[in-house]
């Protein structure tokens, strides 16, 4: 588990990369009606779009410059890093992934899933 200081350092590092526009949280009732879970959305999304560079077991030369402390291998880590993921992958001008990436609709689903606590 990461220390609070380490998480703050990661957040400051990534947030300082130029994109500080975060998508708005879902409406009050969205989380009550959302069907998104780690199993049916979060894990497949992370596998498709994130873990190619953000996985703990990847050698440095295969990470495409991804910081070694930003890994999305399990749900608890994803929840800890949700603010960083949200800022960089769901904002008005998302930076991640750097080449192509998910559709705007998929990004909205990611924003919903993260804002609802990544169930």
- pLDDT tens readout for residues 41-88: 999 999 999 999 999 999 999 999 999 989 999 999 999 999 999 988
- Token readout for 20 is 């500080």
Model pTM?
A: 0.74
Query: pLDDT tens for residues 79-98?
Result: 999 999 998 898 777 888 88
**What is the rounded CA–CA span in Å between residue 101 and residue 104?**
9
The Cβ of residue 64 has, within 10 Å, a number of other Cβ atoms equal to: 12
């Amino acid at each position: 588990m990461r220390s609070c200081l380490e998480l703050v350092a990661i957040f400051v590092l990534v947030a300082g990369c130029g994109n500080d526009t975060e998508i708005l949280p879902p409406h009050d009732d969205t989380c009550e009606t959302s069907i998104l879970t780690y199993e049916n959305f979060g894990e497949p999304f992370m596998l498709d779009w994130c873990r190619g560079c953000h996985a703990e077991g990847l050698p440095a030369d295969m990470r495409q410059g991804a910081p070694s402390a930003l890994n999305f291998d399990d749900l608890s880590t994803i929840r800890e890093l949700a603010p960083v993921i949200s800022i960089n992958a769901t904002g008005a001008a998302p930076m991640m992934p750097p080449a192509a990436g998910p559709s705007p609709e998929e990004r909205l689903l990611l924003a919903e899933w993260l804002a609802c606590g990544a169930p």
